[in-house]
Chain A
Amino acid sequence: MRKGLLISFFLHVFVFFFVMMSVPENLFPKEKVQTISIKLVAAKNVKKTTEKAAPKKVKTQQSAAPKEAPKPKKKPEPKKPPKKAPTVVNKIPKKADKPTKQIQAAEKEVKKKEEKVAEKKPEPRPAKLDKTKDKKNIVQDNSKEATPVEDPEDFLKALSFIEDLKAEQSAMFEGEETEKTTVNVAEQAELAVLKKHIERNWYKTPGTKFINPLLLRLKINRDGTLSSMEVVESSGSLSLDNSLKRAVRKAAPLPIPTDKYDVFKEIELYWNG
């Protein structure tokens, strides 16, 4: 009898700790603190990111070419194994420049944003900062060249991106309520980027009759390429299901942070009219 009680006691203690350790925060939701990270960047620097993002875009177009998550920069164009297509095709991207110019321009913009968000992520602090009640945390990263700005106008320009950042952050928080995820606030940013990236690639016929919600499950490789894709719940329209699949294929490789692969290795896409 005693022994039983003892075992029971230890088991309870064990289970209690086990639960406490493993239950994610979402069971005990923390207060959401809106952090607005401010990054001090020289105006030149801002321009640079924009420019560098441009050539990279063409790769995404080239189907399966694996991509090094958000900080690719120095890579030129070369060695990219295309999915199944013949190798000859690989040289052609230049030709495509004209017809896809608009798209590139659009996607360039996004890349820009992506990189901003990505750059401020890597340092581990945000998680801690969340607990503080401060409305603003001034996080200074980007140690490379935080050179002072000479031209005051340029300085203003350099600051202007903060507005974008704010808008993006608030957009993230809006989206958060509908997103049933177990990721923390830091990862919301990456999710928002991912969401936008897929939505932009998803040509959905407007005004069609809504039948059922659509749920698509993706398994992602470490380099962001697609490992598998499965329709978990069909929308009732094969055309719609296919259009989302096409979007994912077009969007691949997906911009997932390499250091958080475990969080992003499996993604569910949900459309509810």
Chain B
Amino acid sequence: MTGYKMFKKLQFVALLTCLVASIQTAQAAVRINLTDPNADPLPTAIVPFDGESADEQNVGMQIRDVIANNLQNTGLFNVLDPKAHLQSRQSMRTSGILFNEWRLINAQAVMTGHIVILGMGTATPKAQVEFKLYDPYAERDILAKSYTADLRFWRHIGHRISDDIYTQLTGEGGYFTSRIVHIAEESKNGKKLKKLCVMDQDGGNYQCLTDGSHLVLTPRFNPNVQKIVYMSYANGFPRLYLLDLPTGKQEIVGDFEGLNSSPRFSPDGKTLVMTLTKGHAGNPEVYSMDIETKKLKRLTFNRGIDTSPSFSPDGKKIVFNSNRGGKPALYIMDADGNRVRRLTYGQGRHYAPVWSPRGDLIAFVKEYEGRFSINVIDPEGEETRQLTESFLDESPTWSPNGRVIIFSRQMGDSTKLYTIDLTGYNERQLKTPMDASDPAWSPLLK
């Protein structure tokens, strides 16, 4: 009996001792809650690719510049001027990378690389590029890769490496190996010609696909970037066309009566959503069409205008624009047209929704008191954020990683493309040879 009581007491004492001990250990480490990290662009060194011959060094420098330009334009990196690099090419060759010299110029990451041109002088020389990314503070490499491609595609190699570095340092997918299709506007003999043109995400490899003889609008890429769907007045009526990029072949999507507009592919590329006015007294409704079978399905049934559909990245939902509530606002429905709910309320008119490839935001245009702005809203409709504002900002489209938006801005007579980070910072113009509008960003190229 007493033994049991003693046991109980001892147990109690033991418990208390444990408690005290645990407090003691909790005291061991002090905790600091970090709240306010440095948001400055990351100082990064991109060293020109080294090569044996002058040709190789030349191409190496050009690739380096593509990478540096890509990273700098994100606003997230501060690419250090090569003139500020302390370690020379010679020193790098003989003694490898000296981390201390890179820490001295505050480089948080250093890329070095080497280029060899294979089959120089033959019809199809190839570039073999290998690179390493170093963390000068951990004093080790954090990424090493090599690419071999036709020398003509050296820019492509630069974009690939940019994506690798971006992903490694930010933890997000890259977006540099991608293209942008848009409508270029050219004045010729007093006439304004609208052409369908494509370019790399940085403005390189510029190329026009139509000659401007017909009005073209709203081009969109399919998920594997092999097809472009767009609206054209080629036969005198607004119809949708499908352009096959490798063959250059064009086919009409369907010759539906009335207005055929605002086409967009589903994320799996098998379905097309669009706006048609056929058969209901000119009232625009949203339709989907199976591209293989050409089978049409009506998704909206409302006396208001329903238009501008855009799929969520999982393909399960569609956001669209409707004035059924009195003024144009955004609505979300299931991909089969069921369960419609209103997404945006409040001031102004809301147009042109595009679901982010990341899925967490929807970009749209808001018009309020004669000013236009690009905004983003989460799919639950809880938080709206305005990113830009001007006399006329239109046609937002997302980068493949859902981080950057390209839109067109009209200033006076000319319309240009601009990019903005989804944080609302880093607005900059994307240079194009002609006026440009109606941009659509492709997914990442494979």
Contacts and interface: CB of A to CB of B under 8 A. Distances in A.
Interface of A: 1, 4, 7-8, 11, 15, 18-19, 22-24, 27, 61-63, 82-86, 89-90, 92-93, 95-96, 98-100, 103, 175, 178-183, 187, 191, 194-195, 198-209, 217, 237-240, 242-247, 249-250, 263-264, 266-272
Most-contacted residue by chain A among B20, B31, B86, B360 (CB, 10 A): B31
A209 to B, nearest CB: 7
Interface in B317-373: 358, 360
A228 B419 CA distance: 43
Given A15-B13, A239-B170, 12 more contacts: A7-B6, A19-B20, A27-B23, A83-B139, A180-B33, A201-B38, A207-B423, A246-B138, A249-B138, A268-B30, A268-B31, A269-B32
A1 B27 CA distance: 39
Contacts of B94: none
B23 A24 contact: yes
Interface in B1-45: 2, 5-6, 9, 13, 16-17, 20, 23-24, 26-43
6 contacts: A4-B2, A178-B35, A180-B33, A195-B33, A206-B76, A239-B167
Contact of B37 (A61, A103, A203, A245): A203
A22 B24 contact: yes
Contacts of A103: 106
Nearest to A267: B30
A208 B170 contact: yes
A7 B167 CA distance: 66
B255 to A, nearest CB: 44
Contact of B42 (A22, A205, A267): A205
Nearest to B74: A205
Interface stretch (B97-105, B178-186, B281-289, B294-302): B97-105
B170 A205 contact: yes
Contacts of B378: none
B30 A264 contact: yes
A217 B33 CA distance: 12
B33 A239 contact: no
A99 B30 contact: no
A131 to B, nearest CB: 21
B19 to A, nearest CB: 8
Contacts of B33: 175, 178-180, 195, 270-272
B171 interface: yes
A156 B363 CA distance: 53
Contacts of A264: 30
B13 to A, nearest CB: 6
A63 B136 CA distance: 10
B105 A239 contact: no
B32 A270 contact: yes
B31 A270 contact: yes
B445 interface: no
Nearest to B402: A209
Nearest to B32: A195
B138 A205 contact: no
A56 to B, nearest CB: 16
A101 to B, nearest CB: 11
A194 B425 CA distance: 29
Nearest to A236: B171
A202 B108 CA distance: 10
B40 A203 contact: yes
Size class of the contact patch on chain B: 35 or more
A242 to B, nearest CB: 7
B29 A266 contact: yes
Contact of A268 (B29, B39, B425): B29
Contacts of A200: 38
Contacts of B37: 199, 202-204, 247, 271
A88 to B, nearest CB: 8
Contacts of A203: 37-38, 40-43, 108
B130 interface: no
A267 B360 contact: no
Given A19-B16, A22-B20, A180-B31, A85 B98 contact: yes
Nearest to A239: B171
B138 A269 contact: no
A205 B104 contact: no
Interface string B255-276: 0000000000000000000000
Contacts of B95: 86
B86 A96 contact: yes
Contact of B168 (A7, A18, A180, A239): A239
A269 B30 CA distance: 9
B444 interface: no
A200 B13 CA distance: 47
A86 B98 contact: yes
B28 to A, nearest CB: 6
A269 B104 contact: no
Given A208-B171, A239-B170, A63 B422 contact: no
Given A103-B106, A205-B169, A92 B31 contact: no
B414 to A, nearest CB: 30
Contact of A15 (B17, B24, B98, B423): B17
Given A198-B34, A264-B30, A18 B106 contact: no
B275 to A, nearest CB: 32
Q: Point out which of B27, B28, B104, B425 has the most chain A C-beta atoms below 10 A from its C-beta.
A: B104
Contact of B23 (A22, A244, A247): A22
B142 interface: yes
Contacts of B32: 179, 191, 194-195, 198, 267-270
A69 B440 CA distance: 56
Given A175-B33, A239-B169, A246-B137, A209 B20 contact: no
A270 B2 contact: no
Contacts of A237: 171
Contacts of B31: 179-181, 267-270
B84 to A, nearest CB: 5
B403 interface: yes
B15 to A, nearest CB: 10
B417 interface: no
B419 to A, nearest CB: 14
A85 B100 contact: yes
Interface string B149-175: 000000000000000000111111000
A84 B130 CA distance: 26
Contacts of A205: 42, 76, 169-172
Counting chain B CB atoms within 10 Å of each CB, the highest count among A61, A62, A203, A239 belongs to A203
